[in-house]
């Protein structure tokens, strides 16, 4: 239950097994059935989810009822709603479980709490934050300027196995293209590469 998050920390900080175990001993896991909504607009959450097993989706629904997927979070990803977790303002997004999912609940204060034990944890947290900003910058740029095929090729690099785990329309929603357009991209790639 804690092993994956301990491995995650050990990969990023030079710490011992004992330190990783002590640092994470207070964390609790929680399981959600496929389809469970973990966060809805209006909710306040002061926690992050680290995915042990399964798949979460971070999305909004517009006035016409259309879903827009901002992020998928498979195993070893961390997901949080900053609006509520950092700014204490009601969320405007949803998080739901696309598969049966087990998460580790990482409270916001976790990073401050274990500072004494793991002096470099705050640096890591800042690095993760920068990484997340970098990811968003790239994502905005792709949405503004890239072709459907470029977006798809970038997607399969980032999330190689999600094409086997989520329906086409969700991938299309993430890419900001129609499912028909995604089909066309895949058909064109098959024309180029199928022998």
The residues of the shown chain that bind another protein, judged by CB under 8 A, are 156, 160-161, 163-165, 167-168, 183, 186-195
CA geometry: angle 179, 185, 191, nearest 5 deg? 135
Residue 155 CA to residue 176 CA, distance in Å, equals 12
Give the nearest distance from C-beta 106 to another protein in angstroms: 28
Q: Which is nearer to another protein, 51 or 182 (CB)?
A: 182
The tokens describing 186, both together, are: 């895949």
Give the nearest distance from C-beta 54 to another protein in angstroms: 14
DSSP label of 117: T
Q: Which is nearer to another protein, 12 or 165 (CB)?
A: 165
Q: For residue 49, how many other CB atoms are within 10 A of its CB?
A: 26
Residue 182 CA to residue 190 CA, distance in Å, equals 12
Give the nearest distance from C-beta 118 to another protein in angstroms: 32
Q: Which is nearer to another protein, 31 or 168 (CB)?
A: 168
Give the nearest distance from C-beta 183 to another protein in angstroms: 7
Cβ pair 30, 97 in contact under 8 A? no
Residue 133 CA to residue 140 CA, distance in Å, equals 10
E strand or H helix that includes residue 11: helix 3-12
Q: Which is nearer to another protein, 116 or 193 (CB)?
A: 193
Give the nearest distance from C-beta 155 to another protein in angstroms: 9
Q: Which is nearer to another protein, 113 or 180 (CB)?
A: 180
């Amino acid at each position: 239950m804690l092993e994956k998050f301990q491995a995650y920390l050990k990969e990023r900080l030079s710490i011992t097994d004992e330190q990783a175990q002590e640092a994470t001993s207070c964390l609790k896991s929680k399981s959600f059935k496929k389809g469970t909504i973990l966060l809805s607009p209006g909710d306040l959450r002061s926690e992050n989810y680290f995915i042990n097993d399964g798949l979460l989706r971070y999305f909004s629904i517009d006035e016409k009822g259309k879903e827009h997927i901002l992020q998928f979070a498979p195993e070893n990803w961390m997901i949080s709603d900053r609006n509520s977790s950092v700014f204490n303002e009601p969320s405007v997004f949803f998080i739901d479980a696309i598969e049966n999912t087990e998460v580790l609940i990482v409270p916001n204060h976790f990073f401050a709490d274990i500072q004494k034990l793991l002096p470099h944890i705050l640096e890591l947290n800042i690095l993760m934050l920068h990484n997340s900003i970098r990811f968003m910058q790239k994502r905005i740029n792709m949405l503004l300027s890239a072709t459907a095929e470029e977006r798809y090729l970038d997607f399969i690099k980032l999330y190689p196995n999600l094409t086997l785990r989520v329906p086409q329309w969700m991938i299309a929603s993430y890419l900001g293209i129609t499912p028909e357009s995604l089909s066309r991209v895949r058909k064109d790639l098959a024309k180029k590469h199928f022998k």
